[in-house]
Structure 1
């Protein structure tokens, strides 16, 4: 048991997952643009947008969108030579992509879900700039599925087909720079029911869904292509959605830390109530810090700013209480201040510090009528930011007395989380009027073979050992492996090249990312046809990686590995044996291993190792 282990059943832990996975389709979801990612320096031009929230069909404004709109920001987008008017929101979207629909239905079959008869596209209000239109398009594909875990079944509530958002490139003081290349890539969102009751089960469920997704062979791989959102609550807490968990092995820690955060907030709430705590009126306390030597405060005042404060009556010692590793209630208050542009807050549980003196702390307490049992939080910034930020701090502190708030939080690299915005509500969804519904017929969709089944088949059918079979089945090059063996390439050779050889080259700093599937398949065919010795594969691939415009045949020539005749092989080996005549005479076949290495070096990968081995044995036997 560690400090962050809990009796999850006693606390009433309930968790669910939302898995977001990019599909590896030819084109985007609502246009014919490619789904390839680009480098920012490839951008051909930029354009900008200012976004604002709109009301739903019922005339309601979503709370999350409303909070986002309180800070006016300009969103700039990097556009490329492939960017179209749909991506810029200057042309209506096209029909829901057929390939994406097919893959989504395959995933639904693997999750034992019921595919809906007709897909209707909805708009989901998003005004953080990640969609040029101000909303994300989403369509329900299937419902009511289930996966199995060692702790029991977990229901799968729905499967949505959505468009991916634009990629954030740079955060700016007055807005955000996005890259448009990722916008519109087909994305499935899989939502489980609230059936998960432990951190370990959450991780297992995510791993199972991930395996099913990869079984299609049509999902993108790599950092950022799959994201997990985790919904967590405890009996006395609240539903919290944690966004952007990218590593599967982090999910159990995320759940564990969130349970701890909510448990601590419940205890803080109870303690605040027992103290009859309250939040006082916001005050301007600039005069208290007129001569301050604190760098943060001095910088704000010298720039014409101010210092605002809020007294937190009965909060002494609780603002600094740890909720998660290195995150406290004060950090929660600071997160809310940062949402309005402030750099953060100072509070009396941590002062004097940061250049703030004991005398200034006492003067601050006097200025807001705070006693020793109270805490005070302050913000130093320009006048508008300071006012907005301290109001947000006051609001969050008041909530701490009442409840654990429902909210959306972001995942940090260390497994902790930070406040992002309120939970979105139903007001953010409304019908998309520019895209017609499409019929869905899963009867013609082929159910993919599971990766676990592939591992078994690769062992039985191709004779791969268990470890290599699993590497290939779960690897990114699995579709290429299957294409290669279907084309008659030896399975063991293909598996070794795709898993071991590429890893070796990567470790040798060869630009493996430059090698396309066509390059790899062409090299395999050269070996299979006897035009390239297996021993020359590394050199040929390294040559292609250095100049991807080369064909496999040209790379063989460039690397000096054109095949040699059997007579040339015999001549080269005879020379090796002659140079080592004394050793051969003394050791006979015992000299084979040492001479084999020398013979291979003499031929420099131009001849197959088995051929060299056979000829060398013959030559040694002649002399022995």
Structure 2
């Protein structure tokens, strides 16, 4: 994305293609705002990297972040930003200000949690008096802003150096960057735009041959699929699907725990049945946890529920309504009693129709094979 008087910006990671127009629109707005800020500051911005330790001024500070920093023997460093008063808090994208741009640089470059800037203070436990004391210590005029960071010394210093570099870039308006797409259509700093230097190998450093003796090369997907076909007796398509799935470890764990269930049935349930439920019943079964899957297949393994009702069981788990009593299998004695009752109520029906009635009424309470045996026995 680029506009007149702006710079080319690359936006990475836009997962939803419908979001692209919004990403472009908000990036254009961001660049226009940065150009306006540049005009307000003028062409020369004199940012001196004079980082001052203001820890003493904040010893009794009520900020949780600063208190936590001091407990870890950290410091609070501050940097004067000449001419930036009122600009740091200026919104350049929805819920993102110029200060956010500085903070994102500090996070990426130094790994800090973020920064405070003068336009957002007093806040976050930092009082007006403490703000004034910091400004006085830095020698700020009414037009100057400042940034502070609380962390370990090396990280805090590196963070404010990154802030100083980004502040100096405000003279050019829009710095060339690679930015990350956010879900709300805004973007965040990812890294500087790669330059020509990245196209050439480093010539000033002697090549180093890495020691690969302890390097473990992961299995290829094709190797995993072949292993699943051979060891688990899965069909080619199912083995390939399992090898590529993010649920592979769960499936392997379930197969190792529940030997009374065929591996193919477990794999098919996790990889295909769940998608079928989502498609047919508009029910999202992604909420079912690994532990709940172990519970479900545990019931199957012990014969407490039937495979015939597994889809209904998964739907009930997804909705938080599962009760074992609803699906519990009948004992042989209970099953025969129920079959007798149904047969007595349907004496005039021929065998095939009676069988259909019994199967329908006792679905999930016993295997179809068992029900058929008892019906034949009693008719």
TM beyond 0.5: yes
Q: 2:279 aligns with which of 470, 480, 503?
A: 503
Superposition CA RMSD, Å: 4.2
Aligned partner of 1:461 in structure 2 is: none
SS of residue in 1 equivalent to 2:112: coil
Structure-1 residue corresponding to 2:42: 273
Question: 113, 125, 144: which one pairs with 1:343?
Answer: 113
**Unmatched segments (≥5 aa) in structure 2:** 202-240, 242-272, 289-306, 316-328, 330-341, 363-379
Q: How does 1:281-300 map to 2 (within 5 A)?
A: 281-286=49-54, 287-300=56-69
Q: Post-superposition shift, 1:542?
A: 3.6
Gap runs ≥5 in structure 1: 1-231, 432-475, 477-496, 513-537, 547-558, 560-571, 580-597, 607-624
Per-residue CA distance 1:285-337 (angstroms, 9 max, x = gap): 32322332322223323432222222111111110011111111100100111
Q: Secondary structure at the match of 2:106?
A: helix
Instruction: Tell me the secondary structure at the aligned position of residue 320 of structure 1.
Output: coil
CA deviation after TM superposition for structure 1 residue 403, in Å: 2.6
2:17 corresponds to: 248
> Per-residue deviation at 1:411?
1.6
Residue number in structure 1 paired with 2:97: 328
Query: Counterpart of 1:18?
Result: none
Which of the numbers 162, 168, 183 marks the counterpart of 1:392? 162
Distance 2:199 2:193 in 1: 13
Q: Which has the higher helix share?
A: 2
Question: Residue 278 of structure 2 contacts residue 284 of structure 2 at CA under 8 Å; is this kept in 1?
Answer: no
Residue 279 of structure 1 deviates from its aligned partner by 2.0
Match in the other structure for 1:259: 28
Q: CA deviation at 1:376?
A: 0.8
Larger radius of gyration: 2
| Deviation at residue 407 of structure 1 after TM alignment | 0.7
Q: Whole-Å Cα distance in 1 between the matches of residues 23 and 111 of structure 2? A: 27
Kindly indicate whether the alpha-carbon contact (under 8 Å) linking 1:277 and 1:312 is maintained by their aligned counterparts in 2: no
> What residue is the counterpart of 1:235 in the other structure?
4
Alpha-carbon distance between aligned partners in 1 of 2:179 and 2:286, rounded to the nearest angstrom: 40
Question: Which residue is equivalent to 2:174?
Answer: 404
SS at match of 2:149: strand
> Relative to 1, partners in 2 of residues 1:577 and 1:349: Cα closer, same or farther, differing over 3 Å?
farther
**Counterparts in 2 of 1:131-150, with a 5 A limit?**
none
Correspondence list, 1:197-236, <5 A: 232-236=1-5
In structure 2, how many angstroms separate the alpha carbons of the residues matched to 1:245 and 1:300?
35
Quick one: distance in 2 between partners of 1:511 and 1:374? 51
